[in-house]
Amino acid sequence: MTGIEVGAAGVAALIVLIGLGMPIGIGMIVVSFVGVTLIRNETVAMRMMGSVANDSLEEYLFAVVPLFVLMGLLVTISGVGKDTFDLFERMLRRVRAGLGVATVFANAVFASITGISIASASVFSRVAVPEMTRHGYSRRFSTGVVAGSSVLGMLIPPSLLMIVYAVLAEESVGRMFLAGIGPGIMLSILFSATVIIMATWWKSSVFERPSAEFDEAEDEPGRFSIVTKSLPIVGLVTLVLGGLYGGFFNPTEAGAVGALGALAIALMRKSLNPSKFWSLLVETGQVTVSVLFLILAATFFSRMLAMSGLPNMLAETLLTSSIGPYGFLLIFLFLIIIMGCLIDSISIMLILLPIALPVAKHAGFDLIWFGVITVVAVEIGLLTPPFGLSVYTIKSAIDDPDLKVGEIFRGAMPFVAAMIVGLAILVAFPQIAVWLARL
């Protein structure tokens, strides 16, 4: 077999192994080892596996993963998500479908603290959905808006997917974070517009009964405490993002300061005890090890493909054919969205990026912009059946046996459409993503 045939067979074998249920990391290592053995020999494969294990994880940068994960978990347990929703509920209650818009913007702010979409889905399914249904919103719309806006967690910095992409593309994590701000704001506006449009021209899909009136007398203490509720949110966002973009911290230091700030908030609110803290540390370790093992496996897979010559061959074939650079981009985004129906976000990136990045470089694409549209496309997979991880998170978080998964998927579809529109805008106007990152 030629190197290109080995590389193509390796990609096909990996897809088959994942379909059979093998964990993505193990499948990548097995395929990569066999591939290098066939291209060279077993000795080279053993040496490459050892060097990959050392080279891929020795970077100081990787300390950012556990720190941001721990910060997100601490923020979740401390009740900051509920305070964020209460704050926007107060500000937007007189807007048409104001609770839906409040959920979108609360998710956007919460995303800038946690960076994990699943955390947002879990928190706001418990906080926003009961409040919206109490005020006459349909259950399908309430769960759909939470599912849709939860994807902002992986786009607005700090973002775990942005870190993974930066590592694979050898780009700056800080620049990737900056590149996510403009698209994150744009998607928040598109989601809010979707909510208002539905509430104006498709009321039956939003309200199942007339909205309950807000009791102003009952809410008077909330009005007085609005500043108190906003202080932890504003303080943590300013500390992490202000320090990062102001040049005071690098990404790892920003994660450490953010984790310390989140710990202080949790302790002040008395929402943390030794057993809960230990559980959070264990969960942080599990998430971190999973992510780093996947990065190690993806690095090995990428080197095997580079050795096979498959990415370069694809670049030459696709870019010199009638398809052209944007034809390749369209195929790439379509593959991501289709794969999002079947496997999780990080796995999609780890499978496709080792093949797609060399082609993107040959096409002359800005890799920062390419990373942003990749993350947006990958996040669509959190909302599409049958996988739809955000949808299943909401289903498990809401203790209602009558709530069907299909109902949440249907509620999320308008936001999938909004994300596709956002993706088209980013392709047409790359400056939305790159202007801050290139300052």
The residue type found at 276 is K
SS (H, E, C) 241-266: HHHHHCCCCCHHHHHHHHHHHHHHHH
Positive or negative, the Cα torsion across 339, 345, 350, 356? positive
**Distances 38 to 4, 27, 33, 106, 153 between C-alpha atoms, Å:** 11, 17, 9, 52, 41
The residue type found at 142 is S
Ordered DSSP codes for 10-29:
HHHHHHHHHHTT--HHHHHH
**Distances 154 to 117, 355, 416 between C-alpha atoms, Å:** 6, 22, 15
User: What is the Cα Rg of the chain in Å?
Assistant: 22
pLDDT lower than 50: segments of the chain: 213-221
* Other beta carbons within 10 Å of 8: 17
Positive or negative, the Cα torsion across 164, 167, 171, 172? positive
Q: Residue 218 has what pLDDT? A: 45
Q: Residue 220 has what pLDDT? A: 46
CB 110 within 8 A of CB 149: no
CB 231 within 8 A of CB 132: no
Q: Residue 369 has what pLDDT? A: 94
Positive or negative, the Cα torsion across 233, 236, 237, 239? positive
Q: Residue 374 has what pLDDT? A: 93
Q: Residue 230 has what pLDDT? A: 73
| DSSP SS3 for 210 | coil
- What is the distance between the alpha carbons of residues 169 and 142, in angstroms, rounded to a whole number? 37
Q: Residue 60 has what pLDDT? A: 65
**Distances 84 to 77, 123, 151 between C-alpha atoms, Å:** 13, 11, 17
- What is the distance between the alpha carbons of residues 409 and 386, in angstroms, rounded to a whole number? 9
